[in-house]
Structure formats: structure tokens, C-alpha cells
Amino acid sequence: MKKRKWILLILSLSVMSFVLIACGSDSSENEVKEEEQSETTETETEEESAGNEEAAEEEAAEEETLEFLSMLTGGTSGTYYPLGGEMASIITDATGVQTDALSSNASADNVVALQNGEAELAFVQTDVMDHAVQGINSFDGNPVENVQAIGSLYPETIQIVTKKDSGIASVEDLAGKKVSVGAPGSGTYINAEQILEIYGMSMDDIEAQNLDFGESTGGIQDGNIDAAFITSGTPTGAVEGLAATVDVAIVPIDEGKIDELIEKYPFYAKDTITAGTYGLEEDVVTVAVLAMLAVTDNVPEDIGYEITKAIYENAGTMAHDKASFITTDSALDGIGIELHPGAKKYFDEQGVSQQ
């Protein structure tokens, strides 16, 4: 009997031991789980905090950037600069963001400045912008990926300017002459290359001079150069200044060559400089590209929308002659790159879309 009691006692103690061990194991597992959950929560909290800090920093940087907008234009004697000044005032009033129009070396340099984050807005030729996005010509191997379009503005006429008594009456007559073609890589330079190419010529066939518009017309007036390629809206201030001192001639481009040029480079269009401009006695047939306004992709959608709306709805208040060309009807002509979301929103509201 006593032996049975001892056996029962031993069995009871064994059961209690197992129960205590199990409870201890469950407690340990629960502690481990609680520690893991605590660590996970702390990690998530830290990540969330870091994310919030990063978002706050980005928002602060964005707000700082938008205290001012820099608009790159062109030389002071061209069309970009005076027209850009008017636009900058309108944008400032519409957005509340101080916008300054700055003189520059125009198209190619403007795109590089946008690419490098040195400005937010810029005047650019549509052909140069196309080359930049494709990474060709002066952008060979360095395609631009952070620039979008606001819209087209007006035709930029390729004007081959010379004196009336220079003896230069055709593009072929430029051979062997001192001819200003703008800065290497500039829109004017590329236009000169492509027009010479259509005539079976190259820069090697002329004595190329890399001058800006003011230097070009000054050089023609002084007799230091014979002619100049000037790509700008007409009338161009520098050429008007030249016409006030000497009789000016504009070298025409043959109709057949215009067709060849447009077939090879579709961003060109036939254009005419009308009689009376610069004192010309007859219309002169030539070609044009389009001026456009480009913007960096870090400009917020709402600001891009207000910029676009301000320009196209206030063009009628601008004093510059070229403002009459700034309409929603032609705003997307020649635009081969992506529109800024704000610009797209505005044009969608107007029922205008890219072809």
C-alpha cells in the first residue's frame, strides 16, 4: 500500500515538472516573440520617421527652389530677351513666384543649363530640343532627360544677312566668304550646317566666324565679315540696327532646296520675310524653325499649369511683335518631346493635343 502511494507521489511530481517546464517554455517563447515584435515596431517606426524626414527635406527643397524661377533667353539684341522679359513679368504676376529673364547664349547653352539644374525655364529652338532629347549633334552621347515642353511660341526665321552691295545673292555665293554662323552647337550654327549641306557645302567651304547677333551685324557694318546666319523672329533688333546704317539684303533659299531640307529635317517650315522688313523691296523666301519654352521636370504640376495658362492667355497684352504668334492653335506645333504635366493639363482643357 505504501509502495503504491510512493508511486503515485512520484507520478504526480513528474506531471507537475512537465507542466512547469511547458509553462516556462511558453513564457520564453512569448518573451522572444514580444522582443521580436518590439524590434520590428522600432524598425518600422525608425523607417517611417526617416521617410517623413526625407519627405520633409524634399518638400523644403522644393519650396526653396520655387522662391525664384530663372528664365534663360538669348542675346540682348535678339528676340528671346525682350519677349522673355515680358513673359517673366506675366509669370511672376500669375504664379506669385519671382521670375527673372536672363540673357544667355540661347538654345544649346540653355538646354545644357536646364540639364544641369542652373535654371528652370528657357527659350529653345524646337530642332535643338529634339537633338538634345535624342542625344545627337552637340548632345552626342549625352541625351537630356529632365527637360519637358511648355509649348511653341513663334516661327524663328533663318536669315542670311548681308549688305545689298556685297555681291552675295545666293547660298552658293557664300563660298570662300567670312560668314558668322553663331557659337558651335548653337541653334543658329546647326541651321547653317544643315542649309549648307542641302547645297552640297560645309563649314569648310566658308570662313566660319562664331559671333553672336550683335557682333555679326557689327561685323557686317564694319566690313569685317561678309554675311551672317541669324535664326530669330523677324524683325530682329540687331538686323534692324544694321538696316538703319546700311542697305541690307537677305539671301533667299531656293524653293527646291526648301523641299529637300524639310524632307530631311521635318522641323523646318517654309517662311517669308515680307517686303518692307529691314527696308527690303521684295519678299524673300527662306525657312524657319519654331521657338519654344522648355521647363525642367522638377517644376510642380500646378506651377507648370499656371505658367502655361499665363503665357497663352496673356499673349495679347505683350508689346513684342512675335507675341501675335503665341496661340493655343499652334502651341504644340513642332513639339516632339514630352509635355510638362501642368502644360498638358492646360492644353487638354483647351482641347489641344500633340500630333
Counting residues of the chain whose pLDDT is more than 90, the rounded percentage is 65
| Listed residue (170, 159, 203, 198) closest to 185, CA to CA | 203
| 3-state SS class at 286 | strand
Q: What is the pLDDT of residues 188-208, one digit of tens each?
A: 998 999 999 999 999 999 999
Q: What is the pLDDT of residues 15-34, one digit of tens each?
A: 454 444 444 444 445 454 45
CB 220 within 8 A of CB 161: yes
In this structure, what C-alpha cell is assigned to residue 157?
526665321
| Listed residue (165, 154, 159) closest to 321, CA to CA | 154
Q: How many CB atoms lie within 10 A of CB 353?
A: 10
CB 273 within 8 A of CB 284: yes
Q: What is the CA radius of gyration of the chain?
A: 34
Confidence of residue 4 (pLDDT cuts 50, 70, 90): low
Adjacent-strand bridge partners of 101:
71
Side-chain half-sphere CA neighbours of 267 within 13 A: 23
Q: How many CB atoms lie within 10 A of CB 91?
A: 27
Q: What is the pLDDT of residues 41-61, one digit of tens each?
A: 555 555 555 555 555 455 444
Q: Which residue has the cell 550654327?
A: 189
The total number of structural domains that make up the chain: 1
Counting residues of the chain whose pLDDT is more than 70, the rounded percentage is 81
Q: Which residue has the cell 526653396?
A: 64
Residue 326 C-alpha from the chain's centroid: 17
Q: Per the domain annotation, does 95 fall within a domain?
A: yes
173 phi, psi to nearest 5 deg: -70, -10
Decide if pLDDT at 300 tops 80. Answer: yes
Q: What is the mean pLDDT of the chain?
A: 86
Rounded Cα–Cα distance for residues 293 and 342 (Å)? 13
Q: Per the domain annotation, does 17 fall within a domain?
A: no
CATH number for the domain spanning 218: value is: 3.40.190.10
Q: Per the domain annotation, does 223 fall within a domain?
A: yes
| Listed residue (338, 311, 354, 344) closest to 90, CA to CA | 311
Q: Per the domain annotation, does 53 fall within a domain?
A: no
Q: Per the domain annotation, does 116 fall within a domain?
A: yes
The pLDDT assigned to 25 comes to: 47
Q: What is the pLDDT of residues 228-263, one digit of tens each?
A: 999 988 888 899 999 999 999 999 999 999 999 988
Choose the weakest-confidence range: 82-86, 145-149, 177-181, 261-265.
261-265
Instruction: Tell if the pTM clears 0.85, that is, is over it.
Output: no
Decide if pLDDT at 88 tops 60. Answer: yes
Q: What is the DSSP letter of 339?
A: B
| 3-state SS class at 9 | helix
The pLDDT assigned to 12 comes to: 53
The pLDDT assigned to 62 comes to: 45
Positive/negative CA dihedral, 252, 257, 263, 265: negative
The pLDDT assigned to 79 comes to: 85
Give how far Cα 149 sits from Cα of 237, 254, 299, 333, 342, Å. Answer: 26, 32, 12, 11, 10
The pLDDT assigned to 44 comes to: 53
Residue-range definition of the domain harbouring residue 326: 67-349
Q: Per the domain annotation, does 19 fall within a domain?
A: no
The pLDDT assigned to 35 comes to: 52
CB 186 within 8 A of CB 329: no
Confidence of residue 184 (pLDDT cuts 50, 70, 90): confident
What type of residue sits at position 139? F
CB 157 within 8 A of CB 290: no
Expressed in angstroms, the distance from the first to the final Cα of the chain is 106
The pLDDT assigned to 167 comes to: 97
Side-chain half-sphere CA neighbours of 222 within 13 A: 9
Choose the weakest-confidence range: 25-39, 94-108, 113-127, 319-333.
25-39
Q: Per the domain annotation, does 324 fall within a domain?
A: yes
Rounded Cα–Cα distance for residues 114 and 120 (Å)? 6
In this structure, what C-alpha cell is assigned to residue 17?
515538472
CB 279 within 8 A of CB 243: yes
- Pick the residue with more confidence: 270 or 293? 293
